[in-house]
């Protein structure tokens, strides 16, 4: 009588450590690149939106100062001074000249600081240099856009 | 002796693979969605600024180069008061040029396509109508007022309006406010 013994050899093929490490590294690299691309793209887009709005606020203020200059040259010259000039902070509504002084808060639309600096030249004044600046903070950095113009007594 | 070699994936491996893909795909689409949304907002702002600036330029040109005086609906001249007694803001403006041609600036629904409910600023002059913005944006809160510094100076017309645009995610707006001194006064 013969006894037959049956053996079954089960081979289960798993991933080696190297394979797992390569996969995890590629996945991590992909995720890191994706996150950085998104972060950069988002901050660039936000910066472009804020710059566009800041330019709009600058243009609106400069437009108003230009009309003030057309209406009365004397007022414009009185509002400025020689040297560093005089700074005026304009918040939401531009209808009258505010008291002189720089902006303390980002009050314009809750995001921006908008101010105009008027510098005069000559005695009697023959030129008024106007610089309109809108500032805002984004990701811990302060950004700004500026418009600059010169009004002359001959205009 | 039998040798059984299993070459297929186990259930656990498949679950892990599907789990990883299930994590990555929503993340990728979420990122794509956020970037798309911001791009759309940026493009909307660019369009609003372009159209708002264009409308502002056109209104300034009309008022500076053509307007001799303001009138009421009937064509009677309105005297712009001194700043202490400003007239209330009006929604539409009637002006006349030196030849007596009447120009009317007002807010109206954009005519075409009729399915789009966008308001635009229209300028009626000599039975012709010009639209200052397109149906891509809508205009709201159009208002005019006028005053004079003293009796001998030209009238100053203040104009305000807001440019609005609805995106699929949110409504955004850009306010405009400017003064024009009538040169033809």
Strands A141-152 and B69-71: unpaired
Our CA dihedral for B38, B44, B48, B51, rounded to 10 degrees, sits at 140
* Range list of H helices, chain A: 17-71, 73-79
Domain that holds residue A41: 17-152
Give the closest residue to B91 by CA, choosing from B156, B138, B160.
B160
Answer whether residue A1 is part of any domain. Answer: no
> DSSP state, A125?
T
CB contact under 8 A, A49 and B45: yes
Instruction: Tell me how many domains chain A contains.
Output: 1
pLDDT at B1 over 60: no
Instruction: Quick: pLDDT tens for B70-109.
Output: 888 888 888 888 776 666 788 889 999 888 889 999 998 8
Give the closest residue to A39 by CA, choosing from B170, B29, B31, B28.
B31
Q: Alpha-carbon distance A91 to A94, whole Å?
A: 7
Q: Alpha-carbon distance A115 to A107, whole Å?
A: 11
Q: Is the pTM of this model over 0.90?
A: no
Is there a contact between B118 and B137 (Cβ–Cβ < 8 Å)?
A: yes
pLDDT at A11 over 70: no
Counting beta carbons within 10 angstroms of the beta carbon of residue B22, is it exposed (0 to 12), middle (13 to 18) or buried (19 or more)?
Answer: exposed
Answer whether residue A7 is part of any domain. Answer: no
Residue written as tokens 């180069």?
B65
CB contact under 8 A, A38 and B49: no
Least confident of A82-86, A104-108, B81-85: B81-85
Give contacts of A7 with chain B, Cβ < 8 Å. 1-2
Answer whether residue A105 is part of any domain. Answer: yes
Q: Which of A38, A52, A93 sits opposite B35 (nearest CB)?
A: A38
Strands B102-109 and B77-78: unpaired
Q: Is residue B25 less than 8 Å (CB to CB) from chain A?
A: no
pLDDT of residue B3: 60
Give the closest residue to B184 by CA, choosing from B165, B166, B163, B157.
B157
Q: Which of A85-94, A139-148, B93-102 holds the top average pLDDT?
A: A139-148
pLDDT of residue B162: 94
Answer whether residue A8 is part of any domain. Answer: no
pLDDT at A83 over 90: no
Torsions phi, psi of A133, nearest 5? -130, 135
Spell out which chain A residues touch chain B, with contact meaning CB-CB distance below 8 angstroms.
6-13, 27, 31, 34, 38, 41-42, 45-46, 48-49, 52-53, 56, 59-60, 63-64, 67, 70-72, 93-94
Is there a contact between B134 and B23 (Cβ–Cβ < 8 Å)?
A: no
């Amino acid at each position: 009588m013969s006894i037959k013994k049956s053996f079954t050899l089960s081979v289960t093929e798993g991933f080696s450590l190297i394979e797992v490490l390569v996969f995890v590294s590629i996945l991590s690299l992909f995720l890191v690149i994706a996150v950085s691309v998104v972060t950069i793209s988002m901050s660039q887009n936000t910066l472009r939106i804020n710059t566009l709005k800041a330019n709009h606020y600058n243009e609106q203020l400069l437009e108003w100062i230009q009309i003030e200059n057309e209406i009365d040259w004397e007022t414009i010259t009185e509002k400025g001074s020689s040297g560093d000039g005089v700074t005026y902070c304009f918040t939401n509504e531009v209808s009258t000249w505010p008291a002189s002084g720089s902006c303390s808060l980002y009050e314009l639309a809750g995001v921006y600081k908008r101010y105009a600096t008027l510098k005069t030249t000559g005695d009697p004044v023959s030129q008024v240099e106007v610089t309109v600046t809108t500032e805002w903070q984004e990701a811990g950095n302060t950004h700004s856009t500026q418009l600059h113009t010169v009004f002359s007594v001959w205009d | 002796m039998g040798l059984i070699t299993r070459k297929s994936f186990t259930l656990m491996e498949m679950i892990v693979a599907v789990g990883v893909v299930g994590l990555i795909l929503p993340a990728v689409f979420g990122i794509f969605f956020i970037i798309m949304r911001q791009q759309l907002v940026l493009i909307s702002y660019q369009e609003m600024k372009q159209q708002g600036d264009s409308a502002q330029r056109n209104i300034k040109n009309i008022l500076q180069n053509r307007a001799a005086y303001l009138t009421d609906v009937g064509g009677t001249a309105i005297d712009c008061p001194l700043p202490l007694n400003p007239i209330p803001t009006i929604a539409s403006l009637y002006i006349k040029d030196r030849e007596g041609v009447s120009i009317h600036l007002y807010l109206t629904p954009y005519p075409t396509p009729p399915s789009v409910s966008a308001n635009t600023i229209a300028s009626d002059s000599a039975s012709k109508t010009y639209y200052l913005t397109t149906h891509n944006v809508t205009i709201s809160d159009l208002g005019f007022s006028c005053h004079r510094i003293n009796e001998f100076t030209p009238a100053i017309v203040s104009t305000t309006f807001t440019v609005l645009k609805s995106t699929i995610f949110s409504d955004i707006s850009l306010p405009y406010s400017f003064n024009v001194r009538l040169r033809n006064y």
